[in-house]
Amino acid sequence: MSSPEQTSAPSMRVKLPSATVFRLATIGWMIGWYAKVDNNLLLAAKAKHMPVIHPAFEGIFASHTTLLFLQAVPLAMLPLVWLGRRRLLITASSVLILCSLVALMHLLLFNDATFVTSLWAAVWLLWLAVSSPKDPAQGDDPSLKRRAPQLALVVVSLMFLGGFIGKMTPEFWSGEMFYHYFFLDRDILHYPWLRQNLAPDTLREVATWFSRFVVLMEGGLMVACLFPFRKIAPLALLCMAGIVLGSTPWLLSVFGSMFGLVLANYMWPKDGAAS
């Protein structure tokens, strides 16, 4: 991982640290993107049987075929990512950005935060691709191992900034929103158990404190980028895992790309080591 390296005759695969980090972050991106693939394919099948005519969604943004493309195209980028050459990485990350933007505006996937986090993780991937050396023999810029993790944290902070600002309404601080949305309406994880075993007043109280915890955690994570990566990243990972396990495992689709972004940046050689 730490040798300045290039391509060799038997292998066309670039072995630079930047290429390795790119690959790992892409794996996280893919986990998030495909976490609900079965559901998305079902949506496409239903839309084929029952087309939906909506005034705000036309052409490719309403087509079930687009949805099928969105499931296939990111996978087709994997060989490019595996090879790791700068131009291929720029192409792959640009395609991932494009897929995320189309998904964000598609009738059948509309308003899923999965594609917001995917978009911004892909923007970071594009930045990394652009910042990687044109000639692998040159090796990575020595400062890249410091800049890349910090900019990954900037992306994480931006995501939580959005969540925090959107919750600056009393329904979140009082817990009313999460009480109804999760604690009363969801039949997954611990919610049925909580409904069966807690008195109604206690359940409401738990929802309030859960909601306040989420708001405060998002408020904390939105400034994560101001702190050194290796000090704050474990806390960020713990918080994101807590949100997924504490609300719904479906949120893995939202946080997959963020987990990938943070975990991949642990792969840079530490200061002092050759890069």
Partner 1 sequence: MPFDRAHVRELLAHRADRVFLGVIALFALLVLSMPLSKSVRHHFMYAMHGRKLNPVVMAGVQAAPKMYNFANHYWFSPTPLTVAQLSGDPAKIERVEFGWMNHYPIWMMTHYWRVVLKDHGVEQGYFYMGSRWRGEAVFTGYHLRQDVFPNGDERATITRVDP
> Where do contacts with partner 1 occur on this chain (CB under 8 A)?
43, 46, 49-57, 101, 104-105, 107-108, 110-113, 116-117, 119-120, 123-124, 127, 130-131, 143, 146-147, 150-151, 154-155, 158-163, 165-172, 176-177, 180-181, 185, 218, 226-228, 254
Amino acid at 82: W
Nearer to partner 1, 68 or 78 (CB): 68
Nearer to partner 1, 23 or 106 (CB): 106
Q: How far is the CB of 201 from partner 1 (least distance, A)?
A: 20
Q: How far is the CB of 11 from partner 1 (least distance, A)?
A: 27
Q: How far is the CB of 252 from partner 1 (least distance, A)?
A: 14
Q: How far is the CB of 171 from partner 1 (least distance, A)?
A: 4
Distance CA 111, CA 57 (A): 13
Q: How far is the CB of 206 from partner 1 (least distance, A)?
A: 17
For 15, the token pair is: 């072995």
Nearer to partner 1, 79 or 249 (CB): 249
Burial of residue 175 (CB within 10 Å: 0-12, 13-18, 19+) is buried
Distance CA 102, CA 120 (A): 14
Nearer to partner 1, 49 or 72 (CB): 49
Nearer to partner 1, 9 or 56 (CB): 56
Residues 196-215 as b/e (b if ≥16 CB within 10 A, e otherwise) read: eeeeeeebbebbbebbeebb
HSE of 60, CA atoms in CB hemisphere, 13 A: 10
CA 109, 114, 120, 126 torsion-angle sign = negative
Q: How far is the CB of 137 from partner 1 (least distance, A)?
A: 20
Q: Is there a contact between 115 and 100 (Cβ–Cβ < 8 Å)?
A: yes
Q: How far is the CB of 127 from partner 1 (least distance, A)?
A: 4
Q: How far is the CB of 71 from partner 1 (least distance, A)?
A: 17
Nearer to partner 1, 147 or 204 (CB): 147
Sequence-distant (≥ 6) Cβ neighbours of residue 173 within 8 angstroms: 167, 211, 212, 215
Nearer to partner 1, 25 or 159 (CB): 159
Q: Give the three-class secondary structure for 96.
A: helix
Q: Give the three-class secondary structure for 211.
A: helix
271 φ/ψ sector (left φ>0, alpha ψ -120 to 50, else beta): beta
Q: Give the three-class secondary structure for 126.
A: helix
Nearer to partner 1, 78 or 177 (CB): 177
Measure Cα distances from 262 to 1, 26, 99, 104 in Å: 18, 11, 22, 23
